[in-house]
Structure 1
Amino acid sequence: MFGISDLPKFFLAFFLVMPLISIIHEGGHVFFAWMMGGKNIKVSIGTGKPIINMGMLEVRQYYFWYGLCTFENLRKNRRWSNILIFGGGSLFNLLGVVAVMLLVEQEVIDTNMFTYQFTYFSLYYIFFAMLPMPYPDGNYSDGKIILDLLLGKTSVIKERIYRVHWHNENKEWQVLDHEQGFVQAFKDEQDACNKAKEIAKSYRPSKIVNIKDGEETEIHNYPRIPL
């Protein structure tokens, strides 16, 4: 039964062990995103307003809850590469569990409350990350993405395409949405590209292509965010 004497264990698990496990999980996503050529990789730990920014790491006010990894311009944006990226978080959690078990077995560290909680909550984290289910906000669990990809349902990573092209008659650069509907016109090509990036970033997964002389060239992509 949970009693007053168990409160320190609760605080240890909630405010130290769980955030550490979350960092390891996001580290797995980061590793494989980097391996697949992702750029501008960022990791957010927690939710609420940002309180610490250190390179790619952002710690938010409620650091003990939630986490996500964002990146851009994935060079190898294929089904297998996405499986590795979305599975990377749980893989790193599992490797953490194995490492702790080996260290305990070799008597490098002692069995204590921290090692017990780390192992227990890492497996808890893996279970819910890999359980194939949709979330209320419209996102999917890592397991749901992976299962759909294994079943050939690539719609989960199918990108909206935003286009930037030169309209010769009007002498302007036009931004078109994923249904090739007109969004906005600009005199400068870079301004048009910036506008397309602003829109595409809000609708992941998405990519931007530039149309010149009838040829489409990808200039940026925003893959789906692993949680």
Structure 2
Amino acid sequence: MFGINDIPKFLLAFFLVLPLISILHEAGHVFFAWLMGAKNIRIIVGSGKPVFSRGILEIRQYYFWYGFCTFENIERKEKLANILIFSGGALFNLISTIAVILLVENKVLESGMLTYQFTYFSMYYIFFALLPMLYPGGNFSDGKIILELLKNKEEIIQERTYRVQWKNTEEKWHVWDPNKELIAKFEKEEEALDKARDVAKNNRPSRIIINNKDGVEKEVQNYPRIPL
């Protein structure tokens, strides 16, 4: 039975174990994203202002609460690739939970508050990640994305296309939204691309197509829908 003497152990487990589970969850997502060719991968642990950053990992002020990942320019965008990416977080949590249980059963780890909290919070993460629901703010859970993809509703990952195009008549770069409405004009190509990146990044899933001065069209950036 949980007693007064267990409260310090619970707090220790909460502030140490929960962030670790969050890292494992996001690592599962980015592992499969990396397999699909993703670039600029980041794992963010916690919320609030950043306090530490090293490599792909960023830890924020309230490191024990929330977490997410970002990545760009995936090469494989088909349904199966996205299902793997959105399943990866729960899969890594499940594998790590089974590993801890086996280690405890084989006397490699001692059963206690830390191992109990690890398995408990891992299952908590798995349940709410895979529960097909809308989060506050309109974000989709991983399970909601996976379910929609299994139902062949691939519009959930359909990209909005933003275009950067050179206009000889005005000698300016035009940035167009997916409805072919003008967003802005710029004299320099990089300024136009920066504007397109800012807009596209905030409207995932999206991609940027450039029509250069020679009329050649190519994709220069894509921002996939990212899991939580």
Of residues 102-111 and 53-62 in structure 1, the stretch that sits farther from structure 2 once superposed is 102-111
Provide the alpha-carbon RMSD of the alignment. 1.5
SS at match of 2:44: strand
Q: Normalised by the size of structure 2, how large is the TM-score? A: 0.94
Aligned to 2:225: 224
SS of 1:207's partner is strand
Does residue 1:97 correspond to 2:100, yes or no? no
Q: Distance in 1 between matches of 2:61 and 2:194?
A: 30
Write out the 4+ residue segments of structure 1 that deviate beyond 6 Å after TM superposition.
none
Match in the other structure for 2:70: 70
Written as runs of structure 1 = structure 2, the 5 A alignment for 1:198-217 is: 198-212=198-212, 216-217=217-218
- Per the alignment, residue 29 of structure 2 pairs with 29
5+ residue gaps, structure 2, are none
Secondary structure in 2 matching 1:152: coil
Residue 151 of structure 2 is matched in structure 1 by 151
Paired letter, 2:225:
R
Distance, in Å, in 1 between the alignment partners of 2:180 and 2:75 is 24
3-state SS, counterpart of residue 224 of structure 1: coil
SS for the counterpart of 2:137 is coil
- What code does the residue aligned with 1:107 have? K
2:94 partner amino acid: L
CA distances 1:56-85 after superposition (whole Å, capped 9, x unpaired): 111111111100000011111121111111
- Give the letter for the 1:190 counterpart: E
1:182-206: per-residue Cα shift (whole Å, max 9, x none)?
1111222222112111111111111
Classify 1:152/1:214 alpha carbon distance in 2 versus 1 (closer, same or farther; 3 Å). Answer: farther
Consecutive unaligned residues of structure 1, counting only runs of 5 or more, are none
* Counterpart position of 2:185: 185
TM-score (norm 1): 0.95
Q: Distance in 2 between matches of 1:171 and 1:123?
A: 58
Write the distance in 2 (CA, Å) between the matches of 1:192 and 1:166. 10
- Superposed, 1:87-166 pairs within 5 Å as 87-166=87-166
Q: How does 1:46-61 map to 2 (within 5 A)?
A: 46-61=46-61
- Cα offsets for 1:136-192 (capped at 9, x unmatched): 111011100111011111122111111011112112111101111111112222221
Kindly tell me the number of residue pairs found equivalent between the two proteins.
Answer: 227
SS of the aligned residue for 2:74 comes to: coil
